[in-house]
Amino acid sequence: MRRKNARRLTLDLEGNLSVFEPIAVFQLINLAQATGELSLDVGDNSARVFFDGGSVTYAEISNRKVKLGEYLVQQNLVTQKELNKILVKNRKGKKLGRLLVECDVIDEKELQIAIEEQIKEVVYEVVRWKKGWFQFSADKKPAAQDVFIDIPLDSLILEGLKRLDEEGEVDG
């Protein structure tokens, strides 16, 4: 920890994922009940996970496997035709989820559930990373977040470990 001024303590942390794997970093952030942004870089992929009081509030990954629109179509919450219509209509660069809610294609709860699932998938992917770098910057928040999520880290870590175990990547 580094003292920025006499009144405020700032937590900045960085390191090598081959020394401190993502789960260890997540647990440290959770234990410290820290708020901020965790950036992780692995080869051609990078992720950002935001925390508030140690809980995950938002996450994104550069090589996302399934985008929000595709996920909503897969879950039968939106038809491909509705999605295409909204995408063409989106000339102002609004976030897709917000536009779908404004146009009454989905409701706020459906959007929240979809975004929460996407955040979870980012964390599950990051848990697999064994090489690369991480940096935690205290007090940083996502630039534009329409939906606020509060996901307890314990359940995310347990599910991530379960998935690794099922893939045969965790030694018992």
Q: Tens digit of pLDDT for each residue in 75-107?
A: 899 999 988 888 887 666 678 888 888 888 898
- Taking phi over 0 as left and psi of -120 to 50 as alpha, with beta for the rest, 107 belongs to beta
Provide the pLDDT for residue 4.
46
Q: Which two tokens stand for residue 23?
A: 């789960």
* Mean pLDDT across 136-159: 80
Q: Is the pLDDT of residue 58 over 50?
A: yes
| Distance from C-alpha of 102 to C-alpha of 106, rounded to nearest angstrom | 8
Provide the pLDDT for residue 155.
82
* Mean pLDDT across 41-70: 89
Provide the pLDDT for residue 145.
63
Task: Give one DSSP letter per residue of 51-72, joined into a string.
Answer: EETTEEEEEEETT-SS-HHHHH
pTM of the predicted model, to two decimals?
Answer: 0.79
* Mean pLDDT across 30-46: 93
- The half-sphere exposure of 165 on its side-chain side, counting CA atoms within 13 A, is 7
Provide the pLDDT for residue 165.
82
Q: What whole-number percentage of the chain has pLDDT above 90?
A: 35
Q: Is the pLDDT of residue 41 over 80?
A: yes
- Partners of 47 in beta bridges: 40, 61
Q: Is the pLDDT of residue 169 over 70?
A: no
Within a 10 A sphere around the Cβ of 28, how many other Cβ atoms?
A: 16
Name which residue leads in pLDDT, 48 or 170: 48
* Mean pLDDT across 139-164: 79
Q: Which two tokens stand for residue 162?
A: 């379960």
Tokens 């909204």 found at: 86
Q: Is the pLDDT of residue 160 over 60?
A: yes
Q: Are strands 133-138 and 55-61 parallel, antiparallel or unpaired?
A: unpaired
- The average confidence (pLDDT) of the chain is 83
Within a 10 A sphere around the Cβ of 100, how many other Cβ atoms?
A: 25
